[in-house]
Amino acid sequence: MEQVVIFSDDNGGVSILMPSQECLKRHTIQEIAEKDVPSGKPFKIVSRDIVPSDRTFRKAWEVDESKLTDGVGSPHNVFVTDPQHPNNQS
């Protein structure tokens, strides 16, 4: 089952994050979401099937932020395994 990550953008709209299948060979979607969702923003990992394919009113999409309970975007935009992650800096 293909999954995507949703979070709310700064204008009250809905952002859809699609993970790379290549990257998923090395990292979980949770790890990707924590790295790539903007810092401090709560997110939800959902089945891709629930994202409407009809984009006619795409900019009017809204999300209930109280349902975004799977995690929060990290302040670091690198994986913890990346040499540039603060944990790996000497």
Partner 1 sequence: MSDLIIKPSGTSANFKVQNPSGTDKIVMNSSGTITTATLGSAVDLGLTANHSGVKTAINASGAAPIYACRAWAQINGTNNNLNADGNISSVTESSDLYTVNLETALEDANYSVNVSFKRQSGDGSSAGYVNIEKSQTLSNSSFKIYFFNTAGDTINPGLIFVSVFR
In terms of CB distance, is 18 or 47 closer to partner 1?
Answer: 18
CB of 71 to partner 1, least distance (A): 14
Check: CB of residue 35 under 8 Å from CB of residue 25.
no
State the pairing for strand pair 3-8/71-72.
unpaired
CB of 69 to partner 1, least distance (A): 19
CB of 75 to partner 1, least distance (A): 12
Q: Which two tokens stand for residue 74?
A: 């990290």
Strand partners, 45: 5
> Rule CB under 8 A: which residues touch partner 1?
4-5, 9, 11, 13-23, 26-27, 32, 35-36, 53, 55, 58-59, 77-79, 82, 84
Query: How far is it, in rounded angstroms, from Cα 70 to Cα 55?
Result: 25
